[in-house]
Structure 1
Amino acid sequence: MDSSPSTSWTIEALDVASVWEARPAIFQQVRDASAPLAADAPLTSLELADDAQHQRGGMRWAAGALDGVMGHHAPVEDERLRAKQIVKALRDLMAEASPANLTHLTRLLTRAPVLGVLDDILAELVQSGDLDPDRFHELALLLVRESPDREVVKLGISMLGVLVGCDERETLLTIGRHEEFTLFAAVALAGTVDDPDRALWQLARSVRGWGRIHAVERLAETEDPEIRGWLLREGFHNDVMDEYLAHTCAVAGDLVGALELDIVDDALLDGAAGILAALLNGGPAEDIEDYEQAAPASEAYLRHLSRRPDHRALDLRHLLVAEQLREFIGPVGDELEDDETLRELGWTLDIRRRVLDMCATVAERGEWMGQVLEGLEAEDLGRFHQADAAAQLLDIDAWPHHLHRVQADPRRSPSWFPLVQTEDPERFEVVLKLALAELPLDEIATGPADETGLGPEFDIHDTLLVIVHALVDKPG
């Protein structure tokens, strides 16, 4: 990018107000919404200028979800032709700043997600070496700060990310606070600022969904002790699935090293519980079998729990993790025997014995009963689910509590499912009578329709399906 700039080329000649029909700039929307928030407070439910164009058949992806799923799970399609078209449109635009050229580029970009073609676009632009860097920079900033279309903004962010030595940290941190753009901002920050780990950490703390996943994944090689501590205590947690980041944070944060210290804080223990639970759950990313330090980390974690004095109560999450570990490494029959698969994963027979003994010690603590009963009365759904899971371990009957929650909110309560799992005929009869009395069957019997069947408005349909399915195995 070393050609001489043409004096006739000006950004003002693009007439963005006309081309983009004076629609609100996404960057301005994000900046205005972020202004009153603390640096680590996430944006919530901010509608973007082009949301209407990205809603298909009544369904809309959560911010950043489409690019997140494409990046983690979908095969990369061959879109070289589209990439070449976009490169040519960019070249034309940088040769002649005309509204027609900007309109053409916008149409190419808004046709489909840009994620799949970005690498090809940027590689060709950078490798050519014949573009004016100042003009490239000016155009990139325009696309980021002025466009009302998300795919155009994403290209602009990515263009900033190849301008080495050009620190647009504030612009990238601002637009990256919206989950739709965090991935692109994270990549750009990683490639252009002097202290990328600190910038990525700031970005990661400001988002909770797919944005956090993208930002934290790019901290996998950090050596900053403060960031590594945060990864273990908070960084793994997100609103999508903790399973996406559990392994990354366990390794990058050196979970086993942190737990092998003689004294640890409660935040680390709680974080370790969350990470181990996610690894044991398995799912879309690396799990407990991929974590090479799983055995020593689990043993160190349980050592702290088993030595904890009774007057320092533990949260229910620790009981549940101890049970998960017991199920994972416990005996298949009555006797604990060597298991070749577990041994290859680092779980020797001696380690398993020690871990199982400590799991039993944790399970015998005296605070669990009171916490379960208190949690079953809690309004918070997450706390209730945690208590419900623990109740099953302690043989506490949670069915009446599920009944109470359904009676309080029959149209939306997720407690219908555990209610119909009862083997007690009298209890099941109570459920049927409650369903007939509370569910608006006439209201939802509308016949076939061209709808996705997704969203809160279809919760009642899902509840009815749960009840009908439970009837299959019932007499009468």
Structure 2
Amino acid sequence: MLSFKAAAPLYPWAGRPSAYDSIVLRTGQDGKLKSQALPDDDEYADKPERSSALWRLSLDDERTVREEADEALARALARALARLSRDRSVRNRRAAYLALMRDESLDAIGPALQALHKLPGLNARHLYEEAHWMARHGVHRNVVKFGIALLSQYGSERHKELVFTLGKHEEFTLYAASALLGMEQASGALCELARYVTGWARIYLVERLDPDTQEIRDWLLRDGFRNEIADAFLAYTCALKGELQEALEADAIDPKLFAGASGILSALIRGGPAEDIDDYEQAVPVIGEFLRHAERMRDEQAGRDGVEAIAAYLEQDEERWQARCGSGGWTRELRGAYLAQCRCILSAYGE
């Protein structure tokens, strides 16, 4: 019986919306994505997980084989891209596109970029144009990711809007961030992008954000720590980068900062996967300043969670407090004073 191997699609991008177009179409008036759908979702969902054909090998052998395979693929991808840069024919574009569509191509991005610039005869200007085309017109996510990775090698502002828009989709945020980092006012761009994502992408961006302006620090304390995974992932980072202690030392603060401080302290006290309240060296003065504002802002219900969390923290068992007192500025007297202050404030909330 004859068997036929399915032919590769002639032009995989033809007649289909690009990932970029899909993101623009699904962006609401607030600039945020209304859906995480992408044009290749059906193909991506149908693909089996990475094959475990190496299951019979030892871990060391498997690692060696995978590294060798990644290096070989990286060289092949680099040659295909270099060939495309010399001759921007549809034939060469198709060959590179099909190679980049492969799941394995993502593992080879770093080595491929290193190998690419060592090849003779590379036309850097043409390569930029093809990278821009991949990011703008690519239908398949791996091709788009590779296009953004290539663009990150160039400091041009020309592709800023393109990668920023792609970065709103969490599939591309990490790649977009790398491209934006090479541009002027990178911190502002990363902060702006972080406003549009809410999951792991926001966590990634905030952790790498340089808070070089007061606007960025203000956002970190008011909204930056909030995410769909767990606020505890970013509470400590935002408290430090946003300079929470300095912000609370003001005579009066606005309701959004009060609500943000409440959220950060609640998350630090709950604890979780990242640093918690006992890791936060400024815990004592920050709690004191927050309670000072809470006494004056009792009409702001957003502060209640923070006060309740602080009270629960101060009421923890004596064994924990024996370890805390004498370090970080805690004393028995201060603990008692803060706890009495919390109870007084909570009584005004109608506890």
Say yes or no: TM over 0.5: yes
Pairing partner for 2:124 from 128, 133, 151? 133
1:187 maps to which residue? Answer: 178
Q: Is the 8 A contact 2:11 2:94 kept in 1?
A: no
Quote how far apart the aligned CAs of 1:104 are: 4.2
1:355 maps to which residue? Answer: 338
Quote how far apart the aligned CAs of 1:210 are: 2.9
Q: Which amino acid aligns with 2:180?
A: L
2:97 maps to which residue? Answer: 106
What CA distance in whole angstroms lies between the structure 2 residues aligned with 1:116 and 1:58? Answer: 17
Matching of residue 203 in structure 1 with residue 193 in structure 2? yes
For the aligned residue pairs, the C-alpha RMSD in angstroms reads: 3.1
Quote how far apart the aligned CAs of 1:106 are: 3.4
Q: Is the 8 A contact 1:118 1:155 kept in 2?
A: yes
Matching of residue 330 in structure 1 with residue 315 in structure 2? yes
After TM superposition, the score normalised by the length of structure 2 is: 0.80
1:33 maps to which residue? Answer: 26
Instruction: Map residues 375-414 of structure 1 onto 2, 5 A cutoff.
Output: none
Classify the secondary structure of the residue corresponding to 1:365.
helix
- 1:57/1:358 Cα in 2 relative to 1: closer, same or farther (>3 Å)? farther
Q: Is the 8 A contact 2:82 2:121 kept in 1?
A: no
Instruction: Map residues 409-420 of structure 1 onto 2, 5 A cutoff.
Output: none
- 1:289/1:55 Cα in 2 relative to 1: closer, same or farther (>3 Å)? farther
What CA distance in whole angstroms lies between the structure 1 residues aligned with 2:189 and 2:16? Answer: 30
2:37 maps to which residue? Answer: 47
What CA distance in whole angstroms lies between the structure 2 residues aligned with 1:57 and 1:91? Answer: 29
Instruction: Map residues 116-155 of structure 1 onto 2, 5 A cutoff.
Output: 116-126=107-117, 131-155=122-146
- 1:304/1:86 Cα in 2 relative to 1: closer, same or farther (>3 Å)? same
1:300 maps to which residue? Answer: 289
Classify the secondary structure of the residue corresponding to 1:87.
helix
Instruction: Map residues 142-291 of structure 1 onto 2, 5 A cutoff.
Output: 142-191=133-182, 193-219=183-209, 221-291=210-280
Quote how far apart the aligned CAs of 1:129 are: 8.7
2:11 maps to which residue? Answer: 18
Quote how far apart the aligned CAs of 1:289 are: 3.2
What CA distance in whole angstroms lies between the structure 2 residues aligned with 1:247 and 1:147? Answer: 38
Quote how far apart the aligned CAs of 1:168 are: 1.8
CA offsets 1:376-432 (integer angstroms, 9 cap, x no match)? xxxxxxxxxxxxxxxxxxxxxxxxxxxxxxxxxxxxxxxxxxxxxxxxxxxxxxxxx
What CA distance in whole angstroms lies between the structure 1 residues aligned with 2:138 and 2:299? Answer: 53
Percent identity reads 35
Q: Is the 8 A contact 2:132 2:159 kept in 1?
A: no
Matching of residue 90 in structure 1 with residue 90 in structure 2? no
Unpaired runs of 5+ in structure 1? 1-15, 60-76, 369-476
What CA distance in whole angstroms lies between the structure 2 residues aligned with 1:355 and 1:84? Answer: 63
2:58 maps to which residue? Answer: none
What CA distance in whole angstroms lies between the structure 1 residues aligned with 2:294 and 2:346? Answer: 10
What CA distance in whole angstroms lies between the structure 1 residues aligned with 2:38 and 2:104? Answer: 16
Quote how far apart the aligned CAs of 1:42 are: 1.2
Quote how far apart the aligned CAs of 1:276 are: 1.5
Q: Is the 8 A contact 2:26 2:34 kept in 1?
A: no
Q: Which amino acid aligns with 1:209?
A: G
Pairing partner for 1:364 from 340, 347, 351? 347
What CA distance in whole angstroms lies between the structure 1 residues aligned with 2:46 and 2:284? Answer: 47
Q: Is the 8 A contact 2:269 2:277 kept in 1?
A: yes
What CA distance in whole angstroms lies between the structure 2 residues aligned with 1:344 and 1:126? Answer: 54
Quote how far apart the aligned CAs of 1:130 are: 6.3
- 1:47/1:134 Cα in 2 relative to 1: closer, same or farther (>3 Å)? same
Classify the secondary structure of the residue corresponding to 2:35.
coil
What CA distance in whole angstroms lies between the structure 1 residues aligned with 2:48 and 2:112? Answer: 32
Q: Is the 8 A contact 2:206 2:224 kept in 1?
A: yes
Quote how far apart the aligned CAs of 1:109 are: 3.2
Q: Is the 8 A contact 2:311 2:339 kept in 1?
A: yes
Q: Which amino acid aligns with 2:21?
A: Q
Quote how far apart the aligned CAs of 1:153 are: 0.5
- 1:278/1:338 Cα in 2 relative to 1: closer, same or farther (>3 Å)? closer
Quote how far apart the aligned CAs of 1:271 are: 0.5
CA offsets 1:54-76 (integer angstroms, 9 cap, x no match)? 225999xxxxxxxxxxxxxxxxx
- 1:104/1:294 Cα in 2 relative to 1: closer, same or farther (>3 Å)? farther
What CA distance in whole angstroms lies between the structure 2 residues aligned with 1:306 and 1:298? Answer: 12
After TM superposition, the score normalised by the length of structure 1 is: 0.61
Q: Is the 8 A contact 2:199 2:228 kept in 1?
A: yes
Q: Is the 8 A contact 1:114 1:154 kept in 2?
A: no
What CA distance in whole angstroms lies between the structure 2 residues aligned with 1:320 and 1:48? Answer: 38
- 1:84/1:356 Cα in 2 relative to 1: closer, same or farther (>3 Å)? farther
- 1:354/1:179 Cα in 2 relative to 1: closer, same or farther (>3 Å)? same
What CA distance in whole angstroms lies between the structure 2 residues aligned with 1:269 and 1:130? Answer: 59
What CA distance in whole angstroms lies between the structure 1 residues aligned with 2:313 and 2:203? Answer: 27
From the CA coordinates, give the structure whose radius of gyration is larger.
Answer: 1
- 1:19/1:52 Cα in 2 relative to 1: closer, same or farther (>3 Å)? closer
What CA distance in whole angstroms lies between the structure 1 residues aligned with 2:176 and 2:256? Answer: 29
Unpaired runs of 5+ in structure 2? 1-8, 50-65
Q: Is the 8 A contact 1:42 1:208 kept in 2?
A: no
Quote how far apart the aligned CAs of 1:116 are: 4.5
